[in-house]
A and B are shown apart, each in its own frame.
Chain A
Amino acid sequence: NAGVTQTPKFQVLKTGQSMTLQCAQDMNHNSMYWYRQDPGMGLRLIYYSASEGTTDKGEVPNGYNVSRLNKREFSLRLESAAPSQTSVYFCASLFGEQYFGPGTRLTVT
C-alpha cells in the first residue's frame, strides 16, 4: 500500500511556463484535495474533489486547474506559472482522516 503519492518531488519553472502536478492514491478513497503550504500561512485548500468526476474550488483556486481523471488520480495544473505560486504543494485523500502525500516543492523564477 503506497498511500498517497505525488510527482515530481521538486520542480523549478520559469515565469509563464506550465506544468502538471500528479497525485495518486491506492486506498480507494472518494475525496481528494490539493493544498499549498507557505511559511506562516498554514495549509490552504486550492481545489478538492468529493468523488470521481466532480471538482470544487477551495480558498485559493486562482491560477490553477484540476482534473479528477479517475478515482485514483487527481492532478493540478499551472497554466502560466507566476512567482507567487512558489510553494510546497500537498495532495491528500480522505477517509475519516486526511492522508497527505509527500509534497512537491515548486519554485517559479
Chain B
Amino acid sequence: GENVEQHPSTLSVQEGDSAVIKCTYSDSASNYFPWYKQELGKRPQLIIDIRSNVGEKKDQRIAVTLNKTAKHFSLHITETQPEDSAVYFCAAALFGNEKLTFGTGTRLTIIP
C-alpha cells in the first residue's frame, strides 16, 4: 500500500519568514495530494490540494509543488503569521479510490 513520509516533524520560523514542509510517497499511481491544517484541539481542515496533472498550485500565501518523478510534494507558506501555527498533514491517494494515506504531521510554530 501507499506510504507517506513527512519532514520535518517540528518547524519554528520567525513571523514573516517562509516555511516549507516536505512529503514523499511510495505509490507511483497516487495522483491526489491534499494538505490539512489542524489547530490545537480542533479537527483537520483542508487548506490546499493538488492533482498530478499540475506541478504547482497557489492560494494566496500558500502553495504546493509536486515532483512526480521524484515522488515528493511540498507545502510552502510565505509571509508567515501567528495564526499559521498548527500541525500540518500531507496525504496521498488515488483520486476516486477515496482512501487517503496521511503523513505523520509537522508542528509549525511561528515566533512573533
Contact = CB atoms under 8 A, between A and B. Distances in A.
Nearest to B1: A59
A104 B43 CA distance: 10
A74 interface: no
Size bracket of the B interface: 10 to 19
Interface in B84-112: 89, 98-105
Interface of A: 31, 40-45, 48, 50, 58-59, 90, 94, 97-98, 100-103
Contacts of A102: 42-43
Contacts of B29: none
10 contacts: A31-B98, A42-B102, A42-B103, A43-B102, A45-B99, A48-B98, A58-B99, A97-B46, A100-B43, A101-B43
Tell me the interface secondary structure of chain A in the complex.
strand
B104 A41 contact: yes
B89 A43 contact: yes
Nearest to A43: B102
